[in-house]
Amino acid sequence: DGGITQSPKYLFRKEGQNVTLSCEQNLNHDAMYWYRQDPGQGLRLIYYSQIVNDFQKGDIAEGYSVSREKKESFPLTVTSAQKNPTAFYLCASSISGIGNQPQHFGDGTRLSIL
Amino acid sequence: GESVGLHLPTLSVQEGDNSIINCAYSNSASDYFIWYKQESGKGPQFIIDIRSNMDKRQGQRVTVLLNKTVKHLSLQIAATQPGDSAVYFCAETRLTGGGNKLTFGTGTQLKVEL
């Protein structure tokens, strides 16, 4: 089945440690996105990529980094500079990065601090 | 300022009744709107979308209404079932020239009572 796979489902980070969240899609979508969700809040955009080897900062990019070396993969690194990383992280993709396209989501990674 | 919000954080309905979930937006330039359903511990699931050149769109048991005059969006669920219990988000795109960037509301928790 086509879809978006996020791993791991749960992740724990120690102080001063960088961690990387995986996102893979086999939908042949050009655009991919990372969101952060905090309890009782909507999704906030961290980074997005409209095409391979290109990405842009979203609304809350500080403390995060991404890469887009392959069409199907868009990993997110939560760096030690992100002082409040505990959240539910969601990856999404859409056919293109042009507006008026629905985004389809994975089932998320829950990151916690040890 | 610009915002996408919801009128009620929680909505309780009896099984079999119709549900109406509301959403307000403030940017008249918004031209595409999506409703998502999110179950606990999972990613948002696409329900239905509507473009700004439409007032109404129907899907299976769901209808989305768009009132551009008052910048209001609603999701109607017919014959609500226990499986409809979830958080519902509206999302919008704004043509800022930077890709398919969605802005999400904070969500409404729909509870279906037996």
Residue B25 touches chain A, beta carbons under 8 Å? no
Q: Where are the alpha helices (DSSP H) in A31-94?
A: none
Q: Which of A98, A102, A108 sits opposite B46 (nearest CB)?
A: A102
Rounded (5°) CA angle B53-B56-B57: 100
Q: Is the pLDDT of residue B98 over 70?
A: no
With beta carbons under 8 A apart, name residues in chain B contacting A90.
43-44
Contact B100 A108 (CB under 8 A): no
CB contact under 8 A, B43 and A106: yes
- Chain A partners of B36 at a C-beta cutoff of 8 Å? 105
Bridge partner residues of B46 (DSSP) = B36
CA distance B65 to chain A (A): 17
How many whole angstroms separate alpha carbon B23 and alpha carbon B89? 9
Quickly tell me which residue has 């991919």 as its tokens: A32
Q: Is B42 exposed, middle or buried (0-12, 13-18, 19+ CB in 10 A)?
A: middle
Residue A9 DSSP symbol: S
The nearest CA of chain B is from the CA of A92 a distance in Å of 9
In B, minimum Cα distance to A96 occurs at B100
Please give the Cα distance from A99 to A38 (Å, whole number).
25
pLDDT in tens, A68-112: 999 999 999 999 989 899 999 999 999 987 767 889 999 999 999
d(CA B47, CA A29): 19
Whether residue B4 is predicted with pLDDT greater than 70 in this model: the reply is no
Per-residue pLDDT tens digits for B62-92: 999 999 999 999 999 999 999 999 999 999 9
Residue B97 has pLDDT above 70, yes or no: no
> What is the chain A residue with the closest CA to B39?
A107
* B85 has a chain A CB within 8 A of its CB: no
Cβ within 8 Å, pair A100-B32: yes
Q: What is the pLDDT of residues B25-59, one digit of tens each?
A: 878 888 889 999 999 989 999 999 999 899 999 99
**Number of Cβ pairs < 8 A linking chain A and chain B:** 71
Q: DSSP assignment of chain B, as one string?
A: ---EE-S-SEEEEETTS-EEEEEEE--TT--EEEEEEE-TTS--EEEEEEETT-SEEE-SSEEEEEETTTTEEEEEESS--GGG-EEEEEEEE---SSSS-EEE---EEEEEE-
Say whether pLDDT at B5 is over 70: no
